[in-house]
Chain A
Amino acid sequence: MNLPQRIKILLVDDHHIFNDGLKRLIDEQPDFRVCGQVFSARDLFYIVESQRPDLVLMDVNLQGVNGIDLGKKVLDTYPKIKIMVLTMYNQFKLLEETRKTGLHGYLLKDAPTPELLLALRTVLNGKFYFDSKVTQSLQHTEDAFGDDFANRLNLTFREVEIISLIRKGFTNEEIADQLHLSFFTVKTHRKNIHFKLGLKNVAELISFAARYDL
């Protein structure tokens, strides 16, 4: 028996079938051992204390308690324990939060087994593992928007149209007339533009427009 050498993994998930399935999978690995299964947040600290796992696999939603918060608490008390979030949520914001909190990984529950094992090993080697499926989906969309110059100035297409007309010296009425918008719409846009760009008057707006050639 070389039980002491096997790495102790704690499973935290309120979904029994998933939790049990995962236990079987991990136990099958020669170097891994499931040292405990936690089904609700309140049992977590007792088992962590008694089992001292090397790695905790943590669900995000534990009957209303957030797994990321819970993981941070564990990490604060036991800085050596690796904590990886294993969730159904394909949510970049949650992944980012996990990263910022200092947890070690974020993986989707439906990741194939090899990927899961790879993630576990990566994290145990002292690195971080964040599911590429979650990251990729956002990068893809950011690309579609990243090239827009106006958006980098934090202006919408309509605001750019209006600024360029202001620069040409048109009044609100004339702008409304030219763009077939209502006077109220143009006024609202101007108010927003000034607020967003932190400009106090038309002169500042015109010089802004000149600087960026709008």
Chain B
Amino acid sequence: MKSWLLITLLLLRISSAIGQITEPLVLSENFTDSLLTRQVSFIPDSSNTIAISDVDKNPNRRPYFHNTVVFGGINPPMWLVFDVVSSKSNISSFILNVSYIGLDGAEVFIKDGFGRILKLPKVLRRYPISARQIPDNKLLFQFSLNPNLRYTIYVKTPRAYERHMISLILWDEHTFLVSNLKQTSIFFLLLGALLLAVFVSLLLFIFLKDAIFWQYGLYVLSLCAAIFIISGYGDPSILAIHILKFDHTTAFVTVLSTSIHIKLSNNYLSVKILAPKWLLLIGEVIIASCLLAASLFFLPWSGIHGMLLSCCYQLLIFAELYIFACILLGMRRGHIPAIIYFVRFLPFIIGLPLLLNLQVLDYIYQSLELLLGAAFFEVVFLGTGIGFSYYKTRKAETQLIAKLNQTQAQVIQTQELERQRIAADLHDDLGGTLSTIRRKISDIRLRLTDIEIIAAFDNLEPLITKSGDDLRRIAHNLMPPEFERIGVATSIEQLVRAIPAKPVRFEFLISGDEHKLGLETELNLYRITSELIQNILKHARAKRASVQLIYYDTNLTVMIEDDGIGYKIVGGDLSSTGIGLKNSKLRADYIGANLTTETSSSGTMIILEIPYPSSSYEPATTNKDFAG
């Protein structure tokens, strides 16, 4: 039923179009604007030979049914003809807006009632805007009509590589100028907003150092450039691209924009992770082709340019399909940025069957009104998606880092336990056994009479002494014996005092009332200090250094300072210094201490601030009497 209804409606419209064709368009006193296509008849001019004088006599003249005029591509050039009568009281000015800059090189003639034919000044894209009859980015033809005379207007469409769909609109000049001013203002307002997005994303890149921000910024910038040029503003006087043939600027900017778009999409949609290799390869091929096409425009041999132009538009379609495929793939994996980006494709997907039917795939990109809208849609959704995924990634990253730090801290603490165990075993087991051996050997020696054997036994003595000392030193390094009992202050003091006065002269100071901090905290504090002292000894090239413990009212401050070169790069030593500091940082985090490093050209100061445990604010009684 419905389809019948549709066909009936269509037939009615065709008949009405035919019916109106002989009637001229009457421009009354309150005429503002009118879409002309239904008043128009047309003559195809495939050989491009019909002269203006022959148009009226041409037998092929037929009414043109469509709402818009389709030309370019496989369509031959044609003549569009329509009649107008002004019923205004005075001579009035009108404007014929071919509305689309793609109709470059159209010729417009006007024939008055006396058969005089006037050719209107040609408007070409390459004419600077200021030099045009009406200084505007659109292609406009202005003419005046005497009242109550019938005029015939002829429009000759040019050949064009691209298929275009345009609307011919006849305007009252005053109405046009007012409405055009509004339109132009909105255009630049939106363009300004897009440029703001570029600025913001570049700022974000500077601060966050994530490649996706410059890619986004560059992409939006290229979109702005493309829109600017496609909209007809990019006349040669503004662009000053003299090497590039002016007619190709649009295609040139568009392919460049496309290559950035793919790069951005790859990053944004995590194509490298989600997509199979071959798809990724296709993306790379498209990027390479885009860049190749862009560079080929600079070739002086213009014979290739026509082919290049159509190739460029094919590339655009391939690029869109590629990105669409990536989005679908991402959506199948439940990738949220892909779903957000999919929304950007919705108008395209909804319009796709329609556009395929009309064979004007590029229409959506090239119609002036849709262009900015589409770009805006794209920029907003892509921006939202990038913001969202950046937030997600950062969150995941933070969690991972926290987890990693936790694991590393656990590793360190496990290592600590193991050290304690080994140290205890060394001292208590091996130490005892070694002492017993020593005693037994001296026992045996006393019973010996052979001088040579006695001498051999005497040689054993220093070896055994040495092994005892070694054992003690190794065990002490692993874990100072009775550490908990001795306390961190004394342990650090002993550590510092054991350092020889050369090459670095260390001093140890302590102030305030000593507080107990708990075994775990104290042990980590001891290790941090020990690591930092090692750093000074190994890397700082210092002459003097100090370690001091200051027991403030609420926290213990450990200050480790040297007059060395600072932790600057010293040959290949940086990495080991870095590891020392990193472990210290991990340990500090683990015990809830604050580690600050201050490096200057005359040394390094490291401050460790450890808050006292809340349960024991009063000074400890067990080891109040520290040495010094």
Q: Judge: A and B partners, yes or no.
A: yes
Given contacts A88-B435, A110-B435, contact A182 B507 (CB under 8 A): no
A72 close to B (CB within 8 Å): no
A141 CA to B498 CA, complexed, in Å: 7
- Contacting pair B482 A66 (CB below 8 A): yes
B54 close to A (CB within 8 Å): no
A13 CA to B427 CA, complexed, in Å: 13
A14 CA to B464 CA, complexed, in Å: 22
The smallest C-beta distance from A130 to any residue of chain B, in angstroms, reads 16
A196 close to B (CB within 8 Å): yes
A203 cross-chain contacts in B, Cβ below 8 A: none
B497 close to A (CB within 8 Å): yes
A66 cross-chain contacts in B, Cβ below 8 A: 482, 485
- Contacting pair B600 A182 (CB below 8 A): yes
Q: What 1/0 flags go to B439-479 for Cβ under 8 Å of A?
A: 11011000000000000000000001100100010000000
Q: Which of A22, A141, A184 has the most CB of B within 10 A?
A: A141
Which of A154-162, A165-173, A204-212 lies at the interface?
A: A154-162
- Contacting pair B507 A148 (CB below 8 A): yes
Of all chain A residues, which has the CB nearest B464?
A110
B512 close to A (CB within 8 Å): yes
Chain B, range 469-503, C-beta contacts under 8 Å to A: 472, 480-482, 485-486, 490, 494, 497-498, 501
Pick 25 A–B contacts, CB within 8 A, sort by A.
A21-B435, A21-B436, A21-B440, A25-B443, A60-B481, A88-B435, A88-B481, A89-B481, A110-B465, A113-B439, A138-B497, A142-B497, A148-B507, A156-B546, A156-B548, A156-B559, A157-B544, A158-B603, A180-B600, A185-B600, A188-B598, A188-B605, A192-B557, A195-B511, A195-B550
Q: Which residues of A contact B (CB under 8 A)?
A: 13-15, 17-18, 20-22, 25, 60-61, 66, 88-94, 97, 109-110, 112-113, 138, 141-142, 144-145, 148, 151, 154-158, 179-182, 184-185, 188, 192, 195-196
A141 cross-chain contacts in B, Cβ below 8 A: 497-498
A192 cross-chain contacts in B, Cβ below 8 A: 548, 550, 557, 559
Of all chain B residues, which has the CB nearest A86?
B435
Instruction: Other than A94-B482, A113-B439, A188-B598, give 12 A-B pairs with Cβ distance below 8 A.
Output: A18-B436, A89-B481, A92-B627, A94-B486, A110-B431, A142-B497, A155-B509, A156-B546, A156-B559, A157-B507, A158-B563, A158-B605
Tell me whether chain A's interface is mostly helix, strand or loop, or mixed: helix
B559 cross-chain contacts in A, Cβ below 8 A: 156, 188, 192
A180 cross-chain contacts in B, Cβ below 8 A: 600-602
B83 close to A (CB within 8 Å): no
Given contacts A158-B563, A184-B598, A195-B512, contact A15 B482 (CB under 8 A): no
A61 cross-chain contacts in B, Cβ below 8 A: 424, 427-428, 481-482
- Contacting pair B598 A185 (CB below 8 A): yes
Given contacts A21-B440, A184-B598, contact A145 B482 (CB under 8 A): no
The smallest C-beta distance from B470 to any residue of chain A, in angstroms, reads 11
- Contacting pair B602 A88 (CB below 8 A): no
The smallest C-beta distance from B475 to any residue of chain A, in angstroms, reads 8
A21 cross-chain contacts in B, Cβ below 8 A: 435-436, 439-440
Q: Which of A20, A93, A188, A192 has the most CB of B within 10 A?
A: A93
Looking at the complex, which one of A17, A94, A112 makes contact with B432 (CB distance below 8 Å)?
A17
- Contacting pair A90 B472 (CB below 8 A): yes
Given contacts A15-B428, A61-B427, A156-B546, contact A151 B482 (CB under 8 A): no
Looking at the complex, which one of A17, A113, A157 makes contact with B563 (CB distance below 8 Å)?
A157
B627 cross-chain contacts in A, Cβ below 8 A: 92-93
Looking at the complex, which one of A88, A113, A179 makes contact with B431 (CB distance below 8 Å)?
A88
A131 CA to B480 CA, complexed, in Å: 19
Of all chain B residues, which has the CB nearest A91?
B481
B55 close to A (CB within 8 Å): no
The smallest C-beta distance from A40 to any residue of chain B, in angstroms, reads 13
- Contacting pair A93 B486 (CB below 8 A): yes
B561 cross-chain contacts in A, Cβ below 8 A: 156, 158
The smallest C-beta distance from A27 to any residue of chain B, in angstroms, reads 12
A90 cross-chain contacts in B, Cβ below 8 A: 472
Number of interface residues of B (CB under 8 A): 51
B434 close to A (CB within 8 Å): yes
Of all chain B residues, which has the CB nearest A150?
B507
The smallest C-beta distance from B379 to any residue of chain A, in angstroms, reads 44
- Contacting pair A89 B552 (CB below 8 A): no
Number of A-B residue pairs, CB cutoff 8 Å, is 134
The smallest C-beta distance from B210 to any residue of chain A, in angstroms, reads 31
The 8 A-B residue pairs with the shortest CB-CB distance in the complex, in nearest-first order: A15-B432, A18-B432, A88-B431, A156-B546, A21-B436, A180-B602, A109-B435, A141-B497
A80 CA to B598 CA, complexed, in Å: 58
A113 CA to B432 CA, complexed, in Å: 14
B563 cross-chain contacts in A, Cβ below 8 A: 157-158
- Contacting pair B507 A25 (CB below 8 A): no
A13 cross-chain contacts in B, Cβ below 8 A: 432
A60 cross-chain contacts in B, Cβ below 8 A: 481-482
Looking at the complex, which one of A14, A158, A188, A196 makes contact with B546 (CB distance below 8 Å)?
A158
Given contacts A145-B497, A145-B507, A156-B546, contact A88 B598 (CB under 8 A): no
Of all chain B residues, which has the CB nearest A140?
B497
A195 cross-chain contacts in B, Cβ below 8 A: 511-512, 550, 552
- Contacting pair B605 A185 (CB below 8 A): yes
B438 close to A (CB within 8 Å): yes
A179 cross-chain contacts in B, Cβ below 8 A: 602
- Contacting pair B428 A25 (CB below 8 A): no
- Contacting pair A109 B431 (CB below 8 A): yes
- Contacting pair A88 B557 (CB below 8 A): no
A90 CA to B481 CA, complexed, in Å: 9
- Contacting pair B607 A181 (CB below 8 A): no
A185 cross-chain contacts in B, Cβ below 8 A: 598, 600, 605
A199 CA to B439 CA, complexed, in Å: 58
B442 cross-chain contacts in A, Cβ below 8 A: 112-113
The smallest C-beta distance from B482 to any residue of chain A, in angstroms, reads 6
Chain B, range 543-591, C-beta contacts under 8 Å to A: 544, 546, 548, 550, 552, 557, 559, 561, 563
Of all chain A residues, which has the CB nearest B440?
A21
B509 cross-chain contacts in A, Cβ below 8 A: 151, 154-156, 196
- Contacting pair A182 B598 (CB below 8 A): yes
The smallest C-beta distance from B501 to any residue of chain A, in angstroms, reads 5
A20 CA to B490 CA, complexed, in Å: 34
B546 cross-chain contacts in A, Cβ below 8 A: 156-158
A184 CA to B598 CA, complexed, in Å: 8
The smallest C-beta distance from B244 to any residue of chain A, in angstroms, reads 54
A61 CA to B605 CA, complexed, in Å: 38
B433 close to A (CB within 8 Å): yes
- Contacting pair B507 A156 (CB below 8 A): yes
Looking at the complex, which one of A17, A91, A154 makes contact with B433 (CB distance below 8 Å)?
A17
Of all chain A residues, which has the CB nearest B547?
A156
Looking at the complex, which one of B431, B464, B485 makes contact with A94 (CB distance below 8 Å)?
B485
The smallest C-beta distance from B207 to any residue of chain A, in angstroms, reads 24
A89 cross-chain contacts in B, Cβ below 8 A: 427, 481-482
Of all chain A residues, which has the CB nearest B552?
A195
A5 CA to B315 CA, complexed, in Å: 112
